[in-house]
């Protein structure tokens, strides 16, 4: 069949008609999809536009304020971070400990603050540790780094790492466990090493910006920000006598010894410990106020140790017990109770007596026993200070000459008179069922070993009913009688397990 005949055939015509129908169908479908539907009104078409960038005056002002704070943080990072270093330390074990140890995992030197990650046996091999420090002074080519005692106090090898990667061999200048501070030095001819600017921690207020800098977990040059959550916190670990700045700026392992700075980039504290159930930051970080340790830097450089002032008293937190405070007439009082006196010490020579309640030093109020220890410790040995006291309910002022604290004397319990801690029989911590009917007196809560009270045979749990034959009805009676017989012959009459006994006599010195 010819091509012309094929084109005019019936089948070819039908095929063309089908194709044409399909094309028309697609065209109509597209038209009705794009145009109005026959079942209702046309859907509105909205063209997308970029949001307007025009802000109100208030918004612009808020942004400018936020940017100014941001610029302050940038300035802090730029100027302070170069003065904050990482300290890698190696601690040697005590000489008596020579047994081998299988666990070779490096430990942080302050596990006693947070607890080890997993229980481990006693470590005998040299321990690797990590902490931070702040460059606080330069003298010639010697630079001094302030840090914590628990970071570098027992170090046999110290490596100082700057934020730009430079490393130096460090040497321990001095360390003090009572304030938990230490000073490390290193030598460098480089003149571009930054020294931090120290601020005035007494100007801090709750709510102030607080920025923590250090090397948490070895992450060098880390910056975290928060506020000052509280001031004057006490109760630091291992008998630390500082009051503390509390902050919610994140502080973790490795931050210890690093800087806490204000919004001006001034160092106002040295990060020291955290309160945490897990060992990680939960917003409860604590720093030593820089004012507490400014003079310590000078002490370390000049003598290698801290020079503490010493009053020669043993203090009691008895006012924390309501019944005991009431018997002494010290309800809601702030200060520190003198429980015992070091015979022939500064307090003894000045006329301060057991039972005196110290409320101020040099006119400045004393808040607690820890506060008094810090204040007296910062008084230069050989100088005099005035103490406001409440003996027998009346306030007086006494002047005392402060001595240099000598550890061997301060730890000699034989010089402490009388050497016992007392409580009211009405104290909530006393089991009233253990008090014999009709017995009056005071309860012996604790006795210092080798003190006069211990040599006399006084024991914890005894009830003192008489002092040198005179009745003791309460704590005020007791301290009045002790004050009258300070350093003299002393005999206690006791109720011990329901029996009346007398102690040996203290003859006096």
- Residue range 311-365, pLDDT digits in tens: 999 998 888 889 999 999 888 889 999 999 999 999 999 999 999 999 999 999 9
Q: Which residues contact 314 (CB under 8 A, 6 or more apart)?
A: 338, 339, 340, 341, 342, 416, 419, 448
CA distance 231 to 204: 8
Q: What b/e readout covers 304-325, taking b as 16+ CB neighbours within 10 angstroms?
A: eebbbbbbbbbbbebbebebbb
Closest CA to 287 of 301, 270, 275, 274: 270
The DSSP 8-state label assigned to residue 482 in this structure reads: H
pTM: 0.74
- Could you say which architecture CATH assigns to the domain 309-414? Roll (2.30)
Identify the CATH number of the domain defined by range 419-502.
Answer: 2.30.42.10
- Catalytic-residue membership of 431: no
**Strand, coil or helix: 25:** helix
Q: Which of 88, 132, 150, 316 is catalytic?
A: 150
CA distance 294 to 312: 24
- Catalytic-residue membership of 56: no
Q: How many CB atoms lie within 10 A of CB 429?
A: 11
pLDDT, averaged per 10 consecutive residues of the chain (509 residues), comes to: 47 53 54 48 55 71 89 92 94 49 36 35 57 95 95 92 95 94 96 95 96 90 94 82 92 91 95 83 90 93 93 89 90 90 94 94 92 91 94 85 91 92 90 87 94 94 95 94 89 93 87
- Residue ranges, CATH 2.40.10.120, the chain: 66-96+105-114+125-304
Hey, what CATH topology would domain 66-96+105-114+125-304 get?
Answer: Thrombin, subunit H (2.40.10)
Closest CA to 439 of 359, 382, 495, 363: 495
The DSSP 8-state label assigned to residue 371 in this structure reads: H
Q: Which of 256, 314, 368, 424 is catalytic?
A: 256
pLDDT, tens digit (0-9, with 9 covering 90-100), for 133-175: 999 999 999 999 999 999 998 888 999 999 999 999 999 999 9
Q: Which of 88, 176, 180, 371 is catalytic?
A: 180
- Residue ranges, CATH 2.30.42.10, the chain: 309-414, 419-502
- Catalytic-residue membership of 180: yes
């Amino acid at each position: 069949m010819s091509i012309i005949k094929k084109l005019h055939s019936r089948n070819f015509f039908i095929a063309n008609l089908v194709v044409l129908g399909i094309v028309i169908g697609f065209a109509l479908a597209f038209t009705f999809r794009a145009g109005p539907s026959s079942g209702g009104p046309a859907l509105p078409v909205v063209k997308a536009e970029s949001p307007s960038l025009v802000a109100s005056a208030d918004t612009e002002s808020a942004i400018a304020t936020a940017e100014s704070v941001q610029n302050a943080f940038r300035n802090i990072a730029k100027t302070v971070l170069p003065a904050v270093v990482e300290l890698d330390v190696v601690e040697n074990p005590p000489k008596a400990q020579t047994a081998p140890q299988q666990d070779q995992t490096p430990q942080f030197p302050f596990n006693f603050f947070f607890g080890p990650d997993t229980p481990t046996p006693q470590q005998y091999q040299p321990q690797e540790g990590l902490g931070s420090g702040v460059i606080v002074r330069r003298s010639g080519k010697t630079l001094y780094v302030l840090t914590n005692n628990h970071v570098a106090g027992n170090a046999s090898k110290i490596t100082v790492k700057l934020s730009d990667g430079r490393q130096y061999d460090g040497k321990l200048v001095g360390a003090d466990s009572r304030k938990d501070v230490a000073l490390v030095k290193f030598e460098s001819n480089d003149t571009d090493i930054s020294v931090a600017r120290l601020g005035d921690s007494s100007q801090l207020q709750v709510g102030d910006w607080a920025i923590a800098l250090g090397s948490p977990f070895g992450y060098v040059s880390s910056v975290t920000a928060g506020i000052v959550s509280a001031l004057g916190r006490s109760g630091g670990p291992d008998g630390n006598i500082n009051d503390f700045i509390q902050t919610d700026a994140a502080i973790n392992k490795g931050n210890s010894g690093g800087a806490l700075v204000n919004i001006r980039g001034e160092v106002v504290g040295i990060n020291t410990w955290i309160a945490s159930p897990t060992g990680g930051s939960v917003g409860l970080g604590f720093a030593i106020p820089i004012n507490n340790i400014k003079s310590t830097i000078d002490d370390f450089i000049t003598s290698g140790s801290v020079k503490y002032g010493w009053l020669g008293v043993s203090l009691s937190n008895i006012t924390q017990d309501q019944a005991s405070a009431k018997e002494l007439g010290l309800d809601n009082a702030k200060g520190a109770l003198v429980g015992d006196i070091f015979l022939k010490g500064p307090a003894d020579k000045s006329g301060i007596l057991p039972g005196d309640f110290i409320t101020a030093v040099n006119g400045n109020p004393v808040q607690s026993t820890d506060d008094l220890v810090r204040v007296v410790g910062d008084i230069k040995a050989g100088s005099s200070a005035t103490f406001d006291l409440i003996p027998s309910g009346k306030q007086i002022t006494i002047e005392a000459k402060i001595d240099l604290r000598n550890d061997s004397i301060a730890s000699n319990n034989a010089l402490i008179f009388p050497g016992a801690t007392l409580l009211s029989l009405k104290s909530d911590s006393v089991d009233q069922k253990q008090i014999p009917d009709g017995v009056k007196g005071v309860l012996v809560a604790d006795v210092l070993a080798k003190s006069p009270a211990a040599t006399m045979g006084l024991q914890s749990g005894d009830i003192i009913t008489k002092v040198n034959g005179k009745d003791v009805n309460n704590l005020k009676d007791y301290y009045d009688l002790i004050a009258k017989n300070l350093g003299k012959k002393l005999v206690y009459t006791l109720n011990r397990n329901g029996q009346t006994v007398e102690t040996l006599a203290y003859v006096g010195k």
